[in-house]
Amino acid sequence: MIFCSDNYSTRPQSITLSSNLKMLVLLIIFFSLTGCGNNESNVSSGNKTGTLYWGNGTEPQSLDPQIATGVPEHHIISAVMEGLVLKNRKTLEPMPGVAESWDITENGTVYTFTLRDNARWSNGDPHVAQDYVWSWWRALQPALGNLYAYMLFPIKNAQQYYEGDITDFNEVGVKALDEQTLQVTLNYPTPYFLQLLDHYSLFPVHQATIEKFGTADQRGTRWTYEGNLVGNGPFQLVDWKINRRIVVESNPYYWDADNVSLKKIVFIPIENIVTEERMFRAGQLHVTSSLPADKISVYREAKDPELKIAPYLGTYYYRLNVRKSQFQDPRVRRALAMSVDRQRLVDNITKGGQIPAYAMTPPGTMGYYPKSDLKFDPEGARRLLAEAGYPGGKGFPATEILYNTNEGHRKVAVALQEMWKKNLNIDIRLLNQEWKVYLDSESAGEYEISRAGWIGDYVDPNNFLDLFLCGGGNNRTGWCNEEYDRLILDVAPSMSSHKERLEVFQQAETMLLNEMPIIPIYTYTSVQLVDSSVKNFDANIMNAASYKDIYLQPDKE
Amino acid sequence: MYRFAISRLLQAIPVLLMVITVTFFLVHSAPGGPFSADKAVPPEVIKALEEQYNLNQPVWQQYLNYLGDVLQGDFGPSFKYSGRTVNELIAAGLPITAELAFYAMLVALSVGITAGVGAAMRPNTMQDYLPMTGAMIGICMPSFLLGPLLVLIFGIHLDWLPVSGWGDIPGDKILPSITLGTGYAAYIARLSRGGMLEVLSQDYIRTARAKGLSERLIIIKHALRGGLIPVVAFLGPAFAGLLAGSFVVETIFQIPGLGRFYVQAAFNRDYTLILGMTIFLSTLIILFNLLSDMLAIWLNPKLRQEIRGTN
Amino acid sequence: MADAIEDHGTSLWKDAWIKLSKNRLALFGLAVLIMLIATSLLTPLIAPYGYETQNLDMGATAPSLQHWLGTDIFGRDMLTRIMYGGRVSLMVGFIATAVALVIGILWGAIAGFFGGRLDAIMMRIVDVLYALPFMIFIILLMVVFGRNILLLFLAIGAVEWLTMARIVRSQVMALRNQEFVEAANSLGLSQWTIIRRHIIPNTLGPVIVYTTLTIPSVMLLEAFLSFLGLGIQPPESSWGLLINYGVETMEEFPWLLIFPGIALSLTLFALNFLGDGLRDALDPRTSKD
């Protein structure tokens, strides 16, 4: 390869060949790449045909409601399946779903549901009470590995059956009295039980389809894939192209099909939220799953009505491994918690209207507003740290913040690293790992500080506080307080009024905050962009869309 | 010629075996098992899953099983997308990546060859310096820099072209193809310039000129064939580079091709998918190298003699 | 005869230098390289701000008098970040190339010098390794063993040594048959001495050229990996990583992308020109005498 050489004679003739050829070829490429289609955007064509384009984060792994655990999966599952009871999309009050009515006994432990007689599966099969008995039986099979099996534990004997103490499922408190009547018996009066029925782990699944593709407790069969899935929801699965789109169409057998306005929903998996926002601006999506932090301020300043920020039932927090020497003293833990300037963090880093969190349970959870004495107090933090034996940060051992690889988490970790350096003079390093490796490290206790988040599955403080029970699989801090366990497991459920329950929870919460095995940082908000043609969207704290209510109507220009 | 092809194919087999073996043992020594999940996974489930995927057998056993399957063309089930097979996933991504690579190569060849040949026609003039400096810039600007810049200019500020997807909106193939192809256009420009310059200095070209043939005819009929040999030889490595480049381009433009699958699989510890794709891609690359070498030989009469001679 | 060799050596280098100095682009490349090395070495002394110094209230700001290249979203000075990032990028470039160099030279010299079956086997291994899709393997290595900076050097070095080995081998083979080697042999010098004193110095030319061209290629590879999230990890940063961050916010804060991008492109540009220039300068075919 000779770069510049001067040994060759030049010919003065002009050569038009190369330029002509170049032009021709470029034209060919241009046309073959553009295609000659029209340039209408998804949003405008979707508005005409009743098709909603929904940006859905990562590609879903499985649509099996008793195996899947992620939010992207949840969005699709709630389109093709439905539970006994729905939630009002604004107030989250229970509303009839497949069950058109229900009775609860005086003592609150026996629920009797009356199912609609026009309830059907998407292939026309009648949908009866026995379906629920079978589905919940399946959900409790240990080999299935249902990570939400515990959601069924309020039901009498469900936990014992799951753990093998009882082997006859007939002893579990769910029975089909006849085709349209389902009776459920609980251990205690559980005020949030009706909410649980709207959680996808309690959705019914179609027995014949599952058994066509494997045994009932076999994981990872093909029964949820395109061409196979049968559900009882307002939509049915018609197409699934991996990494491209999942398409659902209205289900004519759905009991409320007449009131469903949308004809089709196209879920598009987009991992990169920066790209997703661009697609929204280009009219490719009606709804995005999220929004990059740096763009939030742009939309806010423009007072753009398409920006929807709503409180989200979740807490962003850091776990402290109390087994490590430097974290065995609660004063050290509290010192770290007190030197985080949460307001600055949500204003300058996350920017999504998040609320600084000084307790684990989000405020407003079913009327519960946790009281906390935690606040940003660098002076007090330094004193505590000195008392604990590290005056001025001297002698504090090497400590790492572990987080799963993600831009947002990195930003928070970098900010906190700086805050702890500035306020406590301790050196913290950062370590990021992929999701799976990170989970393994956390479970194995191989971390010092670890980033964590918990999104509530139902609206009740129990869901947040029972994370830190002694043996809880989601505890992972090594913290164990038997009095705390007693409050959550024995005292709270036995309270007769909601107010009394909340008081017990407050006691437990105070205990948790005094010992600070975790550092609450902020309460989540859901931030997304919603096109103005999408009506009846109504953000709520569960971030649960009600697809059957949504309709598309472009605003008049 | 056939003997050559067959002997090369036979040589490729131990290479492939080595690829399979090395990748298999690498992947299995990775930390972070495939079954970690969001909430704590009960141990019975892990056991059941390990049985289902034969992970409780000794590694040697697993390796032999896997080898047997692969030789029959079965790459096994994916770990992350339960119920899907690796073959299915590869089949989903392959047409898209192939199309992307094809268009990128089209851009690279057309722009590169015309620029390079044009430069060789009039060396040391503007027609030479401009494209060659442009080529240098093209080589030095990585695709992950060029892509976002193109998106910024053409997709956002000017709003002429779509910024993501493949085949969903008309015109969404332009930016990714240009991004991927530019680096190679630059390289091909330099290669063809060099090749053409060498050929144009040959005696038979001087003879043709002396005979009074038009420059255009000389180039098309005589010079091009020899001058483009370095380009043809480069096609094999270029193809490998295109596949690698597709990782970044597919990530930037959210294109559902093999590259994006591969990066995702790497982050997800989807053992079987990583294995399957590595083997599949290696096979493709080896095949392509073979094809491009054969093409180079066919074009170059001297080499052809050599091959015939040694056979 | 030894004197004659020395003499010839000197005039080759002087000759090369004369040719090189006529090539303006190559000189530009050399100037950039020297400036980069100097800046990288002196960074801890001359960087305007601390590497980690944040200013959350300020956030990302455009270039100004206090911050010549602006600040990132944490309020960290971009000029400082780019300087430190350059240190890492250059370090990866040099060290990985050094790894490739050592392996490649030894391999090629031994194969070329001893020839015969040893050569055939060694070069066959090179051919086989050449055919493999290395990007894929590097990604695999980084994922499997974690993103350790040492591993990065080794992985990249392990890819680049192949071409070096080929170049060195062909040089050595050509040299081996020349007269001065026969003479040295007849004088009774050991093989090793011959290799050390005669062969290796004379292969320096192509080796230097190729090294200068490998460094930018390695830097590009590292940037590529870092962009995908598989290379350098925070809190360290390299230009590739800075570009990654810049792409995320390129609409709101374009300077976060543009400046690291210019830094990387300019460096690659300069090194490539330098390498090309060196190749022309050291090419005996275009020698003036």
Closest to C113 in 3D by CA, of C11, C238, C203, C20? C203
* d(C-alpha A348, C-alpha A354), whole Å: 11
Within an 8 Å CB–CB cutoff, is residue A451 touching chain C?
A: no
Task: Say how far apart CA C161 and CA A57 lie, in whole Å.
Answer: 41
pLDDT of residue A535: 92
pLDDT range class, residue C174, cuts 50, 70, 90: confident
Mean pLDDT of C98-103: 88
Q: Cα(A512)–Cα(A517) distance, rounded to whole angstroms?
A: 7
B291 touches chain C (CB under 8 A): no
Residue A533 has pLDDT above 90, yes or no: yes
Q: How far apart are CA B76 and CA B60, in angstroms?
A: 17
Closest-CA residue to C279 (of C29, C3, C6, C16): C16
- For residues B117 and B231, what is the distance between their CA atoms, to the nearest angstrom? 12
pLDDT digits (tens, 9 = 90+) for B279-304: 888 888 878 877 877 777 777 666 66
Q: Which residue has the higher pLDDT, A5 or B213?
A: B213
Distance, CA of C112 to CA of C101 (rounded, Å): 16
pLDDT for A38 beyond 50? no
| Closest by CA position to B40, among listed A529, A145, A1 | A145
What is the DSSP-derived secondary structure letter of residue A60?
A: P
Say yes or no for a CB contact (<8 Å) between C235 and A292.
no
Is the pLDDT score of A548 beyond 80? Answer: yes
Q: Which residue in chain A is spatially nearest to B261 when comparing CA positions? A: A243
Nearest CA-CA partner of C166 in C250, C107, C217, C223: C107
**Dihedral sign computed on CA atoms, order C200, C206, C212, C213:** negative
Round to whole Å and give the CA distance between C56 and C44.
23
Tens digit of each residue's pLDDT (9 = 90 or more) over A64-81: 999 888 889 999 999 999
pLDDT at A6 over 60: no
Which residues on A lie below 8 Å from B114 (Cβ)? 18-19, 21-22, 25
Q: Which of A26, A37, A57 is nearest to B167 (CA)?
A: A37
The tokens describing B86, both together, are: 């690796």
**pLDDT of A15 over the 50 cut:** no
Q: What is the mean pLDDT of residues B57-65?
A: 82
DSSP-derived secondary structure for chain C: -HHHHHHHHHHHHHHHHHHHHH-HHHHHHHHHHHHHHHHHHHHHHH-SS-SS---TTT-S----SSSTT-B-TT--BHHHHHHHHHHHHHHHHHHHHHHHHHHHHHHHHHHHHH-HHHHHHHHHHHHHHHTS-HHHHHHHHHHHH---HHHHHHHHHHHHHHHHHHHHHHHHHHHHTSHHHHHHHHTT--HHHHIIIIIHHHHHHHHHHHHHHHHHHHHHHHHHHHHHTSSS-TTS--HHHHHHHHHHTTTT-THHHHHHHHHHHHHHHHHHHHHHHHHHHH-GGG---
pLDDT surpassing 90 at residue A405? no
Per-residue model confidence as pLDDT tens digits over A435-482: 777 887 888 888 999 999 999 989 999 999 999 999 877 889 999 999
Return the minimum-mean-pLDDT range out of A250-254, B182-186, B274-278, B296-300.
Answer: B296-300
Tell me what the mean pLDDT of segment C123-143 comes to: 73
* CA of A50 vs chain C CAs: smallest distance (Å): 32
- The per-residue pLDDT for C284 is 58
Query: In this predicted structure, what is the pLDDT of residue C288?
Result: 39
Nearest chain C alpha carbon to A402: C234
Q: CA angle, C41 as apex, C40 and C43 as ends, to 5°?
A: 65
- Lowest-confidence segment of A39-43, A418-422, C128-132 by average pLDDT: C128-132
Token pair belonging to A162: 């799951």
Count of CB atoms situated within 10 Å of the CB of A129 = 24
Q: Are C227 and B248 in contact (CB under 8 A)?
A: yes
Chain A neighbours (≥3 Cβ pairs under 8 A) are B, C
Count of CB pairs separated by less than 8 Å, A with C: 53
Among A2, A3, A407, which would you mutate to test the C interface (most chain C Cβ atoms within 10 Å of its Cβ)?
A3
Indicate the DSSP class of residue A155.
B
SS3 B130: helix
Q: How far is B295 from A76, CA to CA, in rounded Å?
A: 50
Q: Which residues pair with A408 in a beta bridge?
A: none
Q: How confident is the model at residue C274 (pLDDT cuts 50, 70, 90)?
A: confident
Range from A226-235, B13-22, B78-87, C140-149 that averages highest in pLDDT? A226-235
DSSP per residue, B188-247:
HHHHHHHHHHHHHTSHHHHHHHHTT--HHHIIIIIIHHHHTHHHHHHHHHHHHHHHHHHH
CA C288 to mean position of chain CA atoms: 29
Strands A51-55 and A264-268: parallel
CB contacts of B80 in chain A (<8 Å) are 61
SS3 state of residue A73: helix
β-pairing verdict for A449-455 and A307-320: antiparallel
The predicted structure's pLDDT at residue A374: 93
Chain B CB contacts of A443 below 8 Å: 36, 40
Q: Report the gap between the CA of A473 and the closest CA in chain B (Å).
A: 5
Assess contact for A139 and A146: CB atoms under 8 A.
yes
Instruction: Categorize the per-residue pLDDT at B35 as very low, low, confident or very high, splitting at 50, 70 and 90.
Output: low
The three-point CA angle A263-A265-A268 to 5° equals 160
DSSP A287: B
Lowest-confidence pick of B34-48, B51-65, C123-137: B34-48
pLDDT exceeds cutoff 50 at B201? yes
Q: Which of A268-272, A376-380, A474-478, B139-143 has the highest mean pLDDT?
A: A376-380
Three-class DSSP labels, B262-309: HHHHHHHCCHHHHHHHHHHHHHHHHHHHHHHHHHHHHHCHHHHHHHHH
Let me know: does A45 contact A263? Beta carbons within 8 Å.
no
- The C-alpha atoms of residue B145 and residue C254 are separated, in whole angstroms, by 12
How many percent of chain A have pLDDT more than 70? 93
- Dihedral angle over CA of B118, B124, B129, B133, nearest 10: 110
Asked if B96 contacts B260 with a C-beta cutoff of 8 angstroms, the reply is no
The angle subtended at Cα A76 by Cα A199 and Cα A311, nearest 5°, is 60
Residues in A closer than 8 angstroms to C248, CB to CB, are 274, 292, 294, 407
Instruction: Give the Cβ contact number of residue A324 at 10 Å.
Output: 15
A1-9: average pLDDT:
21
More confident residue, A175 or B24: A175
> For residue C90, is pLDDT > 60?
yes
> Average pLDDT over chain A, rounded to whole?
87
Q: Which two tokens stand for residue A261?
A: 């306005």
Neighbours of C58 (CB within 10 A): 15
Q: Please, are residues A34 and B160 in contact by the beta-carbon 8 Å criterion?
A: no
The 10s digit of each residue's pLDDT in A122-148 is 999 999 999 999 999 999 998 887 888
Note whether B170 and A35 are within 8 A (CB): yes
CA atoms of B100 and B92, how far apart (whole Å):
14
A298-307, A391-400, B7-16: least confidently modelled range: B7-16
Mean pLDDT of chain B: 79
Least confident of A182-191, A498-507, B113-122, C7-16: C7-16
CB nearest to C133's CB, from B141, B274, B281: B281
For chain B positions 211-230, those within 8 Å of chain A (CB to CB) are: 215-216, 219-220
Question: Who among B139, B141, B282 is closest to C133 (CB)?
Answer: B282
Residue A18's pLDDT band, with cuts at 50, 70 and 90, is very low
Instruction: Please state, in angstroms and rounded to a whole number, the distance separating the CA atoms of residues C40 and C48.
Output: 14
Is the minimum CB–CB distance between C140 and chain A shorter than 8 Å? no
Predicted local confidence at residue A385, as pLDDT: 93
Comparing alpha-carbon positions, the chain B residue that sits nearest to C251 is: B152
In angstroms, rounded to a whole number, what is the distance separating the alpha carbons of residues A409 and B152? 26
**Residue at B40: amino acid letter:** A
Give the distance from residue B61's alpha carbon to the nearest chain A alpha carbon, in angstroms: 23
